Amino acid sequence: MSCVCRTMFFLLVLAIIAISSSTPSPSEPGEGHTDGFEMYKTWHIHAVNGMSHEKILFLHCKSGDNDLGIHNLTAGTEFNWKFKPQILGKTLFWCYMAWGNVHASFKVFWDDNDLFYRCNWKNCIWTAKDDGVYLKNIPENYDEFRHKWEPGRLDANSTM
Ligand SMILES: *[C@@H]1O[C@H](CO)[C@@H](O)[C@H](O)[C@H]1NC(C)=O
């Protein structure tokens, strides 16, 4: 190879390396979670009645665009839904839960890497228990206490 040819070849190799390293590749499990691309995959939210003594859990979940309706969950059952965030950082779901004469109202999905970690980048599992609402920390395999029950109930029509 002449000197010019060798230089051209070297530049070509450099260009190929530069292109391939700047192209987003499919993320490996456990990698690339901070770049925001994960927001666009399908997420699965679970609201579980994990209470004792056959308590019925009143549940009403919503996002800005969707009202997921009222569900009365018997003990040991869950309501769940899937979605794909459309706009980076803009997707928000929240739920109102109530039983007896107590309630809790809280976000169940928002743009938060700590949340995504606990959901294992796929499944956010919120469980109502006798003393409050827990979020499953899937990688570390335990239920994390997140919200205590507040006294009283809100009107079913103004549950958020
Ligand atoms: C759920 O239970 C409440 C009472 O706590 C009742 O008013 C409501 O109609 C029930 N809704 C459904 C969809 O079962």
Of 55, 46, 44, whose CA–CA distance to 129 is shortest?
Answer: 55
pLDDT at 104 over 50: yes
Give nearest CA residue, ligand 1 atom 1. 72
What pTM does this model have?
0.75
User: How high does pLDDT run on average in the chain?
Assistant: 81
How far apart CA 135 and CA 126 sit, in angstroms, is 5
68 within ligand 1 shell (Cβ under 6 A): no
How far apart CA 121 and CA 99 sit, in angstroms, is 30
Per-residue confidence (pLDDT) for residue 54, from 0 to 100: 87
Give nearest CA residue, ligand 1 atom 4. 58
134 within ligand 1 shell (Cβ under 6 A): no
Per-residue confidence (pLDDT) for residue 25, from 0 to 100: 40
Q: For residue 4, how far is its CA from the centre of ligand 1 (angstroms)?
A: 79
What is the CA 66 to chain-centroid distance, rounded?
16
Of 113, 115, 119, whose CA–CA distance to 138 is shortest?
Answer: 119
Asked which of 13-17, 44-48, 112-116, 144-148 is least confident by mean pLDDT, the reply is 13-17
Give nearest CA residue, ligand 1 atom 14. 72
pLDDT band at 22 (very low <50, low <70, confident <90, very high): very low
Higher per-residue pLDDT: 98 or 19: 98
pLDDT at 33 over 90: no
Chain segment 51-90, per-residue pLDDT in tens: 998 899 999 999 988 899 999 999 999 999 998 887 666 7
Q: Could you tell which of 72, 97, 159 is best to mutate to test the pocket of ligand 1, judged by most ligand atoms within 8 Å of the CB? A: 72
Mean pLDDT over 95-100 rounds to 95
